[in-house]
């Protein structure tokens, strides 16, 4: 990280509310996926607190509306709305993107927060491996379909930002561009999750390369190890394997888990902090600029993945 790179005091301990302090998002519109609870709801609450109109995307209507009401109760005057999007079904994603475009016209912030982790082998509605299909391809289609709205948002004020919530779980697992859906290789839930998180970081790299000149910037975010329901598919053996992977990286992140409010802080900071646009495509962690693994920041890999993803989702547009 360069000496002039922005960062938020408090780092790993900062909360979403602290990350938004001083920000004025009045007149801006944000969309947060996975906003029916956890980090997504905390992200949406902080953006609403700063004055943004926030669309909460959730897989179930009841969950999204319940989160929206909790935010209204906590933030007087908050303008929040919910919509349904199932990232494991590209028809649902395309319908949601069309609805957002119709509702908003312009979009200033897109926080691709939703995801699944360490799931047993399963397929999305479109036949993709579920972690790659949900965490990457669903968000890829949503983002590309919303690019016109993001460009309009940028024309109305400051540049628009796309936040891809990744994870340090990417570090041991590059994207297998030949078999991302585990059709010929043996399924490994850790490899599947890790490559989907590498894909999130690579998408930020390529999005920045393609669209920064039109006022759309992108960042990948590592939220840290958090107390959420994301780990619901894990058993004791999985936790032991995760601890070894983290220890092998020289990290003690699992010793002190973040709260959802702390886990959402870097996403909120990425969406609103001044001075970040000149660092577009960066990988952010603990409200500061970090660095993804080499395989998750390589420009050629990012371009190849983008072209592959574009082909895979083409029929849903």
The residues annotated as belonging to the active site are 187
Six-digit token string for 180 = 């991302």
| DSSP letter, residue 7 | B
Give the Å distances, CA to CA, from 182 to 127, 176, 194. Answer: 11, 9, 13
E-strand ranges in 120-272 read 160-165, 216-222
Those residues whose C-beta lies under 8 Å from the C-beta of residue 93, and which sit 6 or more positions away, are 85, 86, 87, 138, 141, 142, 145, 316
What 3-state class would DSSP assign to 105? Answer: coil
Six-digit token string for 38 = 């956890």
E-strand ranges in 123-244 read 160-165, 216-222
Please say whether the beta carbons of 52 and 268 come within 8 A.
no
- Using CA atoms, how far apart are residues 288 and 203, in angstroms rounded to an integer? 19
Helices (H) and strands (E) in the chain, counts: 11, 8
- Using CA atoms, how far apart are residues 35 and 100, in angstroms rounded to an integer? 15
Please say whether the beta carbons of 254 and 225 come within 8 A.
yes
E-strand ranges in the chain read 29-33, 53-58, 80-84, 109-112, 160-165, 216-222, 283-285, 288-289
- Using CA atoms, how far apart are residues 75 and 69, in angstroms rounded to an integer? 10
What 3-state class would DSSP assign to 27? Answer: coil
Six-digit token string for 204 = 């930020």
């Amino acid at each position: 990280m360069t000496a002039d790179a922005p960062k938020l005091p408090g780092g790993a301990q900062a909360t979403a509310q602290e990350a938004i302090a001083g920000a004025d998002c009045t007149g801006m519109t944000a969309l947060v996926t996975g906003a029916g609870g956890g980090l997504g709801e905390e992200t949406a609450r902080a953006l609403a607190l700063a004055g943004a109109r926030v669309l909460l995307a959730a897989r179930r209507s009841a969950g999204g509306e319940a989160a929206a009401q909790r935010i209204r109760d906590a933030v007087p005057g908050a303008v929040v709305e919910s919509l349904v999007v199932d990232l494991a079904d590209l028809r649902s994603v395309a319908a949601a993107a069309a609805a957002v475009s119709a509702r908003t016209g312009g979009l200033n912030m897109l926080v691709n927060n939703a995801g699944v982790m360490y799931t047993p082998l399963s397929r999305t509605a479109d036949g993709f491996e579920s972690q790659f299909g949900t965490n990457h391809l669903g968000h890829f289609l949503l983002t590309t379909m919303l690019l016109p709205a993001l460009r309009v948002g940028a024309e109305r004020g400051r540049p628009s930002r796309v936040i891809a919530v990744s994870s340090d779980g990417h570090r041991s697992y590059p994207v297998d561009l030949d078999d991302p859906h585990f059709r010929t290789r043996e399924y490994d839930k850790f490899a599947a999750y890790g490559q989907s998180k590498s894909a999130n970081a690579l998408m930020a790299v390529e999005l920045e390369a393609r669209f920064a000149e039109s006022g759309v910037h992108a960042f990948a975010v590592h939220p840290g190890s958090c107390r959420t329901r994301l780990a619901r598919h894990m058993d004791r053996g999985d936790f032991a394997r995760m601890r070894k992977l983290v220890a092998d990286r020289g990290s003690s992140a699992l010793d002190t888990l973040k709260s959802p409010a702390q886990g959402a802080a870097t996403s909120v900071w990425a969406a609103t902090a001044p001075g970040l646009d000149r660092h577009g495509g960066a990988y952010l962690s603990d409200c500061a600029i970090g660095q993804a693994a080499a395989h998750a920041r390589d420009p050629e890999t990012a371009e190849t993945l983008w072209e592959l993803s574009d082909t895979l989702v083409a029929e849903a547009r």
